[in-house]
Amino acid sequence: MLFHEPLFALVLFPAFYALYLAINHRQRAKKWALILASVAFYTWGEPLFVPVVFVSAAIDYAISLRLAAGGKLARRPLLTFGILVNLGILVFYKYADFLIGNFNVLTAPLGTALPLLHIALPIGVSFVVFEKITYLVDCYRGTTKPARTFSDYCLFVFLFPKLLAGPILKYHEMETQIADPAAVAWLDCKEGFLRFARGMAKKLLIADVVGNFANAAFGANATGLGAAQAWLGLVCFTLQIYFDFSAYSDMAIGLARMLGFRLKENFMMPYAARSLTEFWRRWHISLTSWIREYLYVPLGGNRYGEWRTYLNLWICFLASGVWHGASWNFVLWGAYNGLFLTLDRMFLVRLLDRAGSIVSVAATLLIVMIGWVIFRTNSIGELTAYLIALVPLGRPGAFLEMTPDVPLTVLIGSILSLLPATPLFPKLIGAYEKNIILRRLAEYGLVALFVIASARAIAVPFKPFIYFRF
């Protein structure tokens, strides 16, 4: 079940929300209502994975209690065991066939081959596992105490707004909200709904529209693509992945706000970044902060000299690439980002600063877009062919059908993405904050967009969120 499905947005969630508001001041009842609703929400799409999450959550919780009580010698093996259990779940479901396939390639001269398992990837497994590891590490470090009850921990794991594609939460950041859920106020309802409406509009009116052409361009034989259509396909995917993924985060943050929870932001106008380092501070913030806190810092961060820092950056972004999927293209994408982050530290940030905002934003966006080619293609052969197609060599290229709404949507998406990089943006924000009429018009506009997006959700074929692959 997805947030933008009419059944959820127009029927099931309003029905649940009416019940939730009816028990608004009964904390225990609200927590159990959320747990049951969250489990039902996940069971709708992943019934076979729910028992796995429950069993592993029980193991986590038991380990966390021992981590809080045990001595130093006993705690480290317990933490290691807990992390390995969670990573084992991730490896089994996400990487088993990838590892078997590569093993078969290596052992092909010997005439041996292991059968592929063809395991279905549970939606959101990477997000669930990272949050569960976070909980164990924080209990080990003393950053947080174990959840007061197993039901509190289950609410943290299963909380349905963020369950399928984040933001990735840290238990210590949510501990008070989960243990003592605040009563929902009218402002929570209003602001949460408007944020949800924004996400609906971004997903259905921008991401899905440009995504149709992006899928056509990347699904075609790139050797027959002309440069213009290859670039348009790349621009469409660049807009699609941002508006699709940030739409999910908007919906998650909005739904959580309506329920009385405050989730941290996951995107902060990333295409306005003036370096790749800044881009990764603005893009999928919960993942990059997770990698920094739970991988980069334990590896030594920048405490042991420049070359060790470069190595740590590469390791972290190789891990980020592997986290995104079982494919060598994702590994290459991680290495690509690690390379430019290293170049940033060496000289590139200073060079871009001297070049001015227009050049630095354009150069950063070009680096990011080439990275998206690596990310979007499925093999090294496809990647090479698409990169060649981007070079204008005068070939006519095959004709790809394009609906009339694609050019307009590309224009709107580009303006929304790049406007924050212009001097006009702070002035617009200032005028919006000072003028109540503008704020009311924006609110009414979001309501209208929600109605239009809901109508489109009913009328057009279903398209899942991109990050459900991960």
Tokens of 398: 């095959």
On the question of pLDDT at 468 being above 70, the answer is no
Average the pLDDT over 195-213 and give the result. 94
The rounded distance, in Å, linking the Cα atoms of 312 and 265 is 26
Q: How many CB atoms lie within 10 A of CB 127?
A: 22
Tally of domains in the chain: 2
Whether 13 maps to a domain, the answer reads no
On the question of pLDDT at 441 being above 70, the answer is yes
Write down the pLDDT at residue 377: 93
End-to-end CA separation in angstroms for the chain: 16
Average the pLDDT over 305-334 and give the result. 88
The 8-class DSSP code of residue 181 comes to P
Q: What are the two backbone dihedrals, phi and then psi, of residue 344, each rounded to the nearest 5 degrees?
A: -55, -50
Same domain as 388, residue 258: yes
Tokens of 429: 């924000």
Active site residue 284: no
Of 182, 213, 238, at which residue does a domain stop? 182
User: Which one of the listed residues 25, 172, 284, 324 is annotated catalytic?
Assistant: 324
What DSSP element (H or E) covers 362?
Answer: helix 357-376
Q: Which tens digit of pLDDT belongs to each residue from 92-101? A: 888 888 888 8
Same domain as 392, residue 275: yes
The rounded distance, in Å, linking the Cα atoms of 186 and 175 is 23
Same domain as 400, residue 255: yes
The rounded distance, in Å, linking the Cα atoms of 358 and 183 is 46
Q: Which tens digit of pLDDT belongs to each residue from 5-30? A: 878 888 888 999 999 999 988 888 99
Write down the pLDDT at residue 122: 81
User: Do residues 171 and 134 touch, judged by C-beta distance below 8 A?
Assistant: yes
User: Do residues 335 and 321 touch, judged by C-beta distance below 8 A?
Assistant: yes
Lowest mean pLDDT of 47-61, 113-127, 170-184, name the range. 113-127
Tokens of 409: 């949507």
Same domain as 122, residue 220: no
Residue type, 372: W
Same domain as 221, residue 146: no
Q: Which tens digit of pLDDT belongs to each residue from 250-281? A: 999 999 999 999 999 999 999 999 999 999 99
Tokens of 358: 């227009």
Whether 6 maps to a domain, the answer reads no
The rounded distance, in Å, linking the Cα atoms of 300 and 413 is 39
Same domain as 268, residue 169: no
CB under 8 Å to 99, separation ≥6 — which residues? 91, 326
Tokens of 28: 């225990």
Same domain as 436, residue 293: yes
CB under 8 Å to 421, separation ≥6 — which residues? 269, 271, 272, 274, 357, 361
Same domain as 439, residue 347: yes
| For residue 167, cis peptide bond before it (omega within 30 degrees of 0) | yes
The 8-class DSSP code of residue 306 comes to H
CB under 8 Å to 398, separation ≥6 — which residues? 220, 221, 224, 225, 226, 229
Whether 249 maps to a domain, the answer reads yes
Same domain as 206, residue 172: no
Same domain as 255, residue 173: no
CB under 8 Å to 160, separation ≥6 — which residues? 34, 37, 38, 41, 42, 255
Tokens of 148: 């007061």
Same domain as 72, residue 202: no
Looking at the chain, the whole-number percentage of residues with pLDDT higher than 90 is 56
Range of the domain at 135: 26-182
Per-residue pLDDT band for 113 (boundaries 50, 70, 90) equals confident
Tokens of 395: 């070939």
Q: Which tens digit of pLDDT belongs to each residue from 37-92? A: 999 988 887 888 889 999 999 999 999 998 887 666 678 889 999 999 999 999 88
Tokens of 309: 């820092």
